[in-house]
Amino acid sequence: MAVVANILETRQHLMPAIKFWVSPLCLEPSDPGNSTPGHRDRVILFDILDAFHRAGGNFINIASNPRKPWIEKTIGYWMKMRNTRKDMLIAISSESGVKADSVMDSLESSLRRLNRPWVDIFYVHQCDAAATLTKMMVPLTSAVKATHIRFLGVSDTPAWYVAEANCNAYYARLCRFVVYRGTWSAYSRDFEHEIQPMCKTHELGVTLCDIPEEAEAIRCKIEGDFYEALPATKQGEPYDRFSLTPAS
């Protein structure tokens, strides 16, 4: 058995009941910091994506970013230029609420910017009390059946909401949430009280953000190795324009 030299080259199941192989770390490109991102910002993001891909990473999350349109367009262009559309697993989120028209408009805009006919994970990013759970799942199920979305995810949402949505989806024969993205850290452990048991009961995969302090040394080691993979001419550049989060 060959020894894997780089942690990003390993693969693991993101969801218990579905064979969906992802790298153990997810790349979350962040705000370039400029009011109007330009060519230099695109070059830096290209270098980061190239290094991530060379190191074996295949999971990119664009779910929560104020520069989501610009980042989606840049990543879409990068996938086209590098011919990596089939290699990368892309996660995005709804931009405004969970009403049917908002969800579909957000999805169509993202697919157009990514220049890709599908996304791997589509996160519902916030609760909307005005939208009933069943009505919310209907357009999402239609998008899954149309192969525009592979899997449905939910982010930063109460456990009871996700559980009720999945139960309603089951009885209405609609697609259900299979991935949960949440915050966990040493100073904020609410995730363990309700979210983690709910995910285990409903067989949801979990992606975490805000790496805990106890894992800081590991994170720095991984980011250090990843940083060394960047071109030598770019190693002097600030590289806080990306973050690596664990897909557990």
Q: 26-236, what's its fold?
A: TIM Barrel (3.20.20)
* DSSP per-residue letters across 48-73: HHHHHHHTT--EEE-SS-TTHHHHHH
Tell me the per-residue pLDDT of 48-65, one tens digit each, with 9 for 90 and over. Answer: 899 889 888 899 988 766
Tally of residues, the chain: 248
Identity (one letter) of the amino acid at 133?
L
Burial annotation 94-115 (CB, 10 A radius, 16+ → b, else e): beebbbbebbbebbeebbebbe
pLDDT at 17: 67
Report, as ranges of residue numbers, the positions in the chain whose pLDDT lies below 70. 1-7, 17, 31-38, 64-67, 95-99, 126-132, 186-187, 210-248
Give the predicted TM-score (pTM) of the model: 0.79
pLDDT at 228: 52
Per-domain boundaries in the chain = 26-236
| Closest to 113 in 3D by CA, of 80, 140, 82, 142 | 80
Write the CB contacts of 248 (distance below 8 Å, at least 6 apart in sequence): 206, 207, 208
CB–CB of 124/98 below 8 Å? yes
Helix (H) or strand (E) holding 168: helix 159-171
Q: How far is CA 49 from the centre of its chain?
A: 15
84-87's contacts with Cβ under 8 Å and 24+ in sequence apart are 84/53, 85/116, 87/53, 87/58
pLDDT at 238: 40
For 31-149, where are the alpha helices, taking DSSP H only?
39-54, 68-82, 100-114, 133-145
